[in-house]
Chain A
Amino acid sequence: MIKTDVLVIGAGPVGLFAVHQLGIIGLKAEIVDNLDKVGGQCIELYPDKPIYDIPAIPKCTGESLTKNLLEQIKPFQTNFHLNERVQEISKENNQWKIKTNKNKIFISPNIIIAGGVGSFEPRKFSIKEADLYENKEIFYSVKDKNFFKGKKVCIFGGGDSALDWAIELSKFADITLVHRRSEFRGAEHSAQLIRKLEKEGKVKIKTPFQIQSISGKDKINSITIKSENGKTEEIKTDFLLGFFGLIMKLGPIAEWGLNLNKKTIPVNTENFQTNKEGIFAIGDICTYPGKLKLILSGFHEGALAARACFKLARPNEKYRFEFTTTSKNIQEKLGVKKSD
């Protein structure tokens, strides 16, 4: 069980800056994210794409923004709980009890939801029967590559994950790579390598094809793929791997009794509290009249939510507004030395 002043859900830019705003007013935060890395949409959707509207930063990438935010919160030595999703919350003795999918328990008077558009989950095969074989013969990630040794594996997708795994597994498995069009969007050198492996007979490539059906009883026997012009082909296979990128799902947040407006959470703009005391929502996941889904708006929202958290975490203390430029108190928290 971990006691903290604030549990932040979501390690995207807005969640990270909220940790900064909490830190400078002396609140301890723990941060949970379903992804295996920090940065949220910035890292998952557009790590290399430039962002032009961060105040005073004419141009940066999602990756550099994340890196700088991590640098900015370094003094607070925040614990990150990655690859972990908050599952359930309940109120106990005026504190929130928060449980993750790994059965970790947090006790905190405050929860800040900075969850973007929800948690990232792999996109799956569109045909219904795929669900029957999921985690048995159909996978959306590779945990242990040796599992596929000597097997027939069909890999679907045209991005880096699909290409990288096709190349890697082709060393010891019978690989067919299936993609909806003949161009691969993965790295150029991987696309070249996979074409070379095809020429050498080490990988089979089927484009432009998509899955049409799976046949088998208890386990997959073969699949049928179909091209845009209606041509079909049957492929005998033991396993399917799908790499169609990630989709954002609101997930368990929808079950917590929060007011929802489509996939967003209405908040009041004074402190970004939801309809539940001690639960705040900031960034893309919150909504209010005039809401803009901009990173800079999320920074502002986090600053205000942090002050509101102070009231619940330190009920007997008075919050005093201070500037980082002049406050010795804040500079001490930031570990600033005189010479800096």
Chain B
Amino acid sequence: MAKITYIEHSGKSHTLEVANGLTVMEGAVQNNIPGIDADCGGSCACATCHVYVDEKWFDKLPEKESAEEDMLDMAFEPKKLSRLSCQLTVSDALDGLVVKMPSKQG
């Protein structure tokens, strides 16, 4: 279980407990957090679960695989701290993670 904070582009913040084994994307979608679309359902094929990871957290996350980096080319306004939330699996190690959503997903 990890406490994850999702911050909408407007600044509105949602902190929730997400079970281990789910992805950061699923944590948002299952709890109706706006700003993460996940059109493809989590198969790293659409770039609509794009988030900016808090700077303090970015290096603690497992590195991107090349498929995620390729997909980020298509994300809306990708930046240095960009990740696809469907590729981040929740574990105790992610307790306290903060992610921000872009102004839109596409």
State A185–B73 Cα separation when bound (angstroms): 9
**A180-B78 in contact (CB<8A):** yes
Is B69's beta carbon under 8 Å from chain A?
A: yes
* Complex: chain B residue closest to A44, CB-CB: B45
Smallest Cβ distance from B63 to chain A, in angstroms? 14
Task: Give the chain A neighbours of B80 by CB distance below 8 A.
Answer: 228
Out of A183, A245, A248, name the residue touching B39 (CB < 8 Å). Answer: A248
**A185-B39 in contact (CB<8A):** no
* Complex: chain B residue closest to A185, CB-CB: B70
**B77-A126 in contact (CB<8A):** yes
Is A181's beta carbon under 8 Å from chain B?
A: yes
Task: Give the chain A neighbours of B78 by CB distance below 8 A.
Answer: 180, 210
State A45–B79 Cα separation when bound (angstroms): 23
Smallest Cβ distance from A43 to chain B, in angstroms? 12
Is B74's beta carbon under 8 Å from chain A?
A: yes
Is B87's beta carbon under 8 Å from chain A?
A: no
**A247-B73 in contact (CB<8A):** no
Smallest Cβ distance from B79 to chain A, in angstroms? 7
Out of B37, B69, B76, name the residue touching A126 (CB < 8 Å). Answer: B76
Query: Is chain B's interface secondary structure helix, strand, loop, or mixed overall?
Result: loop
Knowing A123-B106, A247-B106, the reply to whether A41 touches B45 (Cβ < 8 A) is: yes
State A45–B69 Cα separation when bound (angstroms): 15
Is A159's beta carbon under 8 Å from chain B?
A: yes
Is A235's beta carbon under 8 Å from chain B?
A: no
Smallest Cβ distance from B14 to chain A, in angstroms? 17
**A244-B73 in contact (CB<8A):** yes
**B40-A183 in contact (CB<8A):** no
Task: Give the chain A neighbours of B73 by CB distance below 8 A.
Answer: 157-159, 179-181, 185, 244-245
Knowing A46-B45, A123-B106, the reply to whether A244 touches B39 (Cβ < 8 A) is: no
Task: Give the chain B neighbours of A180 by CB distance below 8 A.
Answer: 72-73, 78
Is B46's beta carbon under 8 Å from chain A?
A: yes
Out of B37, B40, B47, B70, name the residue touching A41 (CB < 8 Å). Answer: B40
State A114–B41 Cα separation when bound (angstroms): 16
Is B48's beta carbon under 8 Å from chain A?
A: yes
**B79-A228 in contact (CB<8A):** yes
Smallest Cβ distance from A47 to chain B, in angstroms? 11
Task: Give the chain A neighbours of B37 by CB distance below 8 A.
Answer: 263
| Residue-wise interface mask of A (151-195) relative to B, using a CB-CB cutoff of 8 A (1 in contact, 0 not) | 000000111000000000000000000011101010000000000
Task: Give the chain A neighbours of B39 by CB distance below 8 A.
Answer: 117, 247-248, 263
Knowing A183-B69, A228-B79, the reply to whether A244 touches B74 (Cβ < 8 A) is: yes
State A14–B37 Cα separation when bound (angstroms): 22
**A245-B40 in contact (CB<8A):** no
* Complex: chain A residue closest to B47, CB-CB: A245
Smallest Cβ distance from B69 to chain A, in angstroms? 7
The residues in B between 60 and 100 inclusive whose CB is less than 8 angstroms from any CB of A are 66, 69-70, 72-74, 76-80
Task: Give the chain B neighbours of A245 by CB distance below 8 A.
Answer: 47, 73-74
Smallest Cβ distance from B11 to chain A, in angstroms? 19
If A181-B69, A185-B69 are given as contacts, then 8 extra A-B residue pairs at C-beta distance below 8 Å, sorted by A number, are: A117-B46, A126-B76, A159-B70, A181-B73, A210-B78, A245-B74, A248-B46, A284-B41
